A = this chain, B = another copy of it.
């Protein structure tokens, strides 16, 4: 059947957002919202995952996402072990499964996996014992579901739950971005009114992908009247693909300056998944300005991961 659901339809893993319904997304976001707290306040904690052990398997470095998952699990009472294993021994697929089965025999309840190879997360999920859940923490350029959820939660907090009324512009290297894919899946399932893709030709997704998105070659067109401006990280090696020789030129043509931001609605919010290249895809004045909700995104990351862990590992959640 479905690669991430139990027989009864409930979520057994979280690998992708592509088959989540609006009702499921709404439930996850409301659940997460209960775990959001103000900066400086004591973060909410409970014992929902008491006695459980979560293993972090990150074969790509990621302090932010790894720590966010770790804090989420610990704040629900689970043990967390950082596993330094070479998961995807590319040559021999069996070796990877031996590693997983070994860990599973040590009584892990869940694995949080980040891997640069498409399909590894799903392959593990398809092969673990029935009591083990798998959580994607970023899979190649394919998906990053908890990032998609935290982006949706951030929009919801600032713009309300009526996504139909919103115009969201995703700007930058959409072609190679798992963040963009998962955000697209969340936003479309939530019924976003208008979704725009703003990128130079070399960074625009292939034809057929992101079918609900309207494509714009310049921010001048794409940002006009947007409620949400979601910037993506641009990597140096991609600029050549976009036929732009350097960071200054990229900024001149696609970077989010205060002037460009004025094309969007006056109450538009600015998002970025981080880490930022300040002065390349975004100006510091904007990143640190009053319309920026970038720090909210990070804060929401812990709340969303708490909700995901609890929803998947405890089908009847314990209240916070």
Which B residues are in CB contact (< 8 Å) with A129?
39-40
Q: Is the CB of A275 within 8 A of B71?
A: no
Q: For window 48-83 of chain A, which residues contact chain B by CB distance below 8 Å? A: 51, 53, 55, 61, 63-64, 67-68, 70-71, 74, 79, 81, 83
Interface assignment of A235: CB less than 8 Å from any CB of chain B? no
Min CB distance A97 to B, Å, is 9
Chain B residue nearest to A80 (CB atoms) is B81
Beta-carbon contact of A298 and B67 below 8 Å? no
CB distance from A273 to the nearest CB of B (A): 11
Q: Across the interface, do B81 and A70 meet the contact criterion of CB distance under 8 Å?
A: yes
Q: Which stretch from A101-109, A156-164, A177-185, A218-226 is at the chain B interface?
A: A101-109
Contact A106–B302 (Cβ < 8 Å): yes
A319 to chain B, nearest CB (A): 18
Q: Is A315 an interface residue (CB 8 A)?
A: no
Complex Cα–Cα for A83 and B92 (A): 31
Q: Report the 5 A-B pairs with minimum CB-CB distance, sorted nearest first.
A: A40-B131, A105-B298, A43-B107, A105-B299, A105-B295
Show 10 A/B contacts (Cβ-Cβ < 8 Å), sorted by A. Answer: A37-B107, A39-B105, A43-B107, A45-B51, A61-B84, A67-B83, A92-B278, A95-B275, A105-B299, A107-B302
**Known A43-B51, A43-B107, A68-B106; further 8 A-B contacts with Cβ < 8 A:** A39-B104, A40-B130, A53-B71, A63-B99, A67-B103, A71-B106, A94-B284, A105-B296
